[in-house]
Amino acid sequence: MSIFSIGLSGLSAAQTALSTTSNNLSNVNTEGYNRQLPILGESYSDGSTGTGVSVDEVQRQFNSYVTEQYNDANSQTSALESYQSQVSQIDNLLADSDAGLAPLMQDFFSSLDDLSGAASDPAAREGVLGSASSMAAQFRSFDSYLGDMRSSLNGQLEGTVTDINNTATQIASLNDQITQARAKSGGEEPNTLLNKRDKLVSDLNGLVGADLNVQDGDTYNINLENGQPLVSGTNSYDLEAVSSSEDPSRTVIGYRDAGGNLNEIDDGAFENGELGGLLSFRSETLDSVQNQLGRMTAVLGSEFNAVHEQGVDLNGDDGEAFFNVGSPRVLSNSENDGDGAITAEYSNVNELTSSDYRITYAEGEYQAEKLSDGTTTTLTPNGDGDVEFDGMTLNISGTAQEGDSFMLQPTRTASQDFEVAISEGAEIAAASQEGGSGNNENALALLDLQSEKIVGGTSSVSDAYASLVNDVGNTTNITQVNLDAQSGLTEQLREYQQSESGVNLDEEYANLVRYQQYYQANARVIDVGSQVLDSVLQLR
């Protein structure tokens, strides 16, 4: 091997090293870029004589183990961020000292106190109507706000599912491109494509918890946390955001099996990523808060009506319902085969819970599953089809088929139509039946409801609201603490990953100078070879 060939091999290696270093520098701010390093090896002709240098590969500085840890941590951080951004909105709503329900409930009972001291005073009666209307309007407003959050969350779920599907499709496409690139290059690594694929995997983990499996050290296969595949080789499988068969107002995640049948995935199957955070917030906080708000409405309205109807108004007439209160909602599953039907109304509101129930017909019986804790109760209708159950009277009719189900939401919509039912102050039944229309005995009984433990027999309505505010506040604080801790861990892993894979400007500057000198030295080798050749030619 001539000195020229050796020098030329050095020049070629130096050019590759300079190009690699330049590429590192130009991508210092490129997200997902992994630093590349030229790996040089000595060339041999007969096993003993060196023939120069070769570029064995341009190696991507990528640590799959650290990257997997970072992706998992980032997925959990993303879930907490989604949860925190949602729950903080409810916390701000409930805890607002000016716009909250607490001061309006206090104003309402204060106006009753004024009425009890002047039962025949028209101004006092109008004061009760006005404060009652304001309180009822705020209950409806809160319920509307929570309903808007639910609709917005449905839209966010649809957008997130679209992003998941697009990302999975791109990863499957890159699996194919990487395999083809390796085949065409004789095994040379397509580093740019590899970077893009790993960046997409990181993005996917930010959207949904995903498990990565590398097949034959080459192809990426990705499964959801419940094991269902999202990416398998060059194929990707779409998720679908669909209306729940149990509750059409609720968007759930669907997945089609090999036969093309759409199966709804339980919300609990998603724990991490933006999708997991949104679903966890809905099931753990949004549903609970709206149900508890409805429970307070149902209890306050029903109990107030019961006492009010025992009195006499200023015209001497028996008291009527003071508030209009919603009723339990029962939804038939859209996939039911039978014609069974269930209706519900409130009976003893003190026994109401803030849980929803799934009622399923199986083996000739109706089983009610309390979704908050999973306990089940067998419902046995009487001859009229009625069942007394957790503060409600259920009426079961028709003929259900095996597996048919119904969603019972006792208090979810109770606040929607909560309003004052009477229009004139004279219709307030402040007097008792025995004392004539001008006494205040029934007004005092109505006022006593402020402190009576009418919510579950353990707390007053004001106490129940304070407990709700406290619970949401605690959830918000705990989520923020967890988010701060998880964000710190994620950042540490990111820095660790970048220490191996990221571009260090100082190091690359030093390499640039070193490889420049390397290039100049090999150019000098060729120059010396030329001088030697000239000397040899001059001897002739």
pTM over the 0.85 mark: yes
* 365 has pLDDT over 90: yes
List 329's β-bridge partners, or say none.
409
* 540 has pLDDT over 60: no
* 401 has pLDDT over 80: yes
The whole-number average pLDDT for the span 531-538 is: 70
Quote the CA–CA distance of 382 and 390 in Å, as a whole number: 16
Per-residue pLDDT band for 48 (boundaries 50, 70, 90) equals: low
pLDDT digits (tens, 9 = 90+) for 443-476: 999 999 999 999 988 999 999 999 999 999 999 9
Contact 158, 164 (CB under 8 A): no
pLDDT digits (tens, 9 = 90+) for 147-192: 999 999 999 999 999 999 999 999 999 999 999 998 888 778 899 9
Residue 259 confidence (pLDDT): 83
Residue 536 confidence (pLDDT): 67
* 389 has pLDDT over 60: yes
Contact 354, 284 (CB under 8 A): no
The whole-number average pLDDT for the span 233-259 is: 93
Quote the CA–CA distance of 90 and 253 in Å, as a whole number: 24
Nearest to 131 by CA among 153, 109, 151, 148: 109
* 52 has pLDDT over 90: no
The whole-number average pLDDT for the span 465-492 is: 96
* 3-state DSSP helix/strand/coil % of the chain, to nearest 5: 50, 20, 30
Residue 448 confidence (pLDDT): 95
pLDDT digits (tens, 9 = 90+) for 404-440: 999 999 999 999 999 999 999 999 999 988 866 668 8
pLDDT digits (tens, 9 = 90+) for 197-235: 999 999 999 999 999 999 877 899 999 998 899 999 999
Contact 430, 442 (CB under 8 A): yes
User: What DSSP assignment string belongs to 92-131?
Assistant: HHHH-TTTSHHHHHHHHHHHHHHHHH-TT-HHHHHHHHHH
pLDDT digits (tens, 9 = 90+) for 90-138: 999 888 777 789 899 999 999 999 999 998 899 999 999 999 999 999 9
